[in-house]
Homo-oligomer: A and B are copies of this chain.
């Protein structure tokens, strides 16, 4: 019966429908409520300067009273494609991607952008093809997370097409693209200090994938802090590639050495989990016999036992920041030549959980 109302009850049923249509209130309603013109509301919603504070207030009040929320589709349409943002992803570690997507989606919703997600695999051709699709799709800007942020060819192609590119999660600022990232160097140093303060003087480090600049920064941060330790500390560095397996194998190597470390710092959580497994396999207690630290604070960090001491990388916030930045830049770009790439650094946080502890007695 309910659905019947579609045609028949144009009056009654339609009431609830007309309310439902687009979330109910439109700018028009708000304008009427606030006693201003539609355009003024638009200005307020977009933070355009040149609106009297009192007017702005009354509009905001009307917005709240009516529970108005702007229609992203209409906005995108009116803006004529500006605000269409592409996001290229391939296959980053599971936790990373979902957090990133959620952050970007969230940001898109608040800022009224239209996110277009494009997928590609690891190959360069696939990446180039995806970039091509994004450019052809008329994106105003493109967000490049983790692995693609390092791709010179992708960024060059975007520049060529006049599309704003944002590199997320690189080890250092790029000269050819805006960036949103964290201070990998400082974070790694901080974690290393944490281990040193716990008394560890022989620390193993598992490197990340070599083609990512963030890996390098993490290693440098670690080494710098090791050199600074007093009394002096010693380190063993093993290669890894950000996978659980590589962490497991690197830890095996570290633990089977003549003089094994009392702590292992892995460049990400996956590898730390691998190290944990290797330790357990040898019957070592964590953190009783061996401390293990990770990096990123992905869901995996709290899924393992004991829960990992790690560095919280604000992935969702970085995605949101990237979205905001790309939006702003793509708007500005059409006005003036703001050539200097912006480099936005977001704060990280050392999260101490159960996997690190005092160095064991030298018995």
Binding site for B on A (CB under 8 A): 1-7, 16, 20-24, 67, 69, 71-74, 76-77, 80-81, 89, 93-95, 97-98, 101-102, 105-106, 109, 114, 116-117, 119, 136-138, 159-162, 243-245, 248, 270, 273-274, 276-277, 280-281, 283, 298-300, 303-305, 333-337, 339
Contact = CB atoms under 8 A, between A and B. Distances in A.
A39 to B, nearest CB: 19
A243 B301 CA distance: 12
Count of chain copies: 2
A94 B281 contact: no
A337 to B, nearest CB: 5
Nearest to A176: B3
A94 B98 contact: yes
A333 B137 CA distance: 33
Contact of A138 (B4, B22, B77): B22
Contacts of A4: 337
A178 to B, nearest CB: 13
Contacts of A276: 277
A236 B281 CA distance: 24
11 contacts: A4-B337, A6-B334, A20-B81, A20-B162, A67-B136, A73-B74, A73-B77, A94-B98, A101-B102, A280-B281, A283-B283
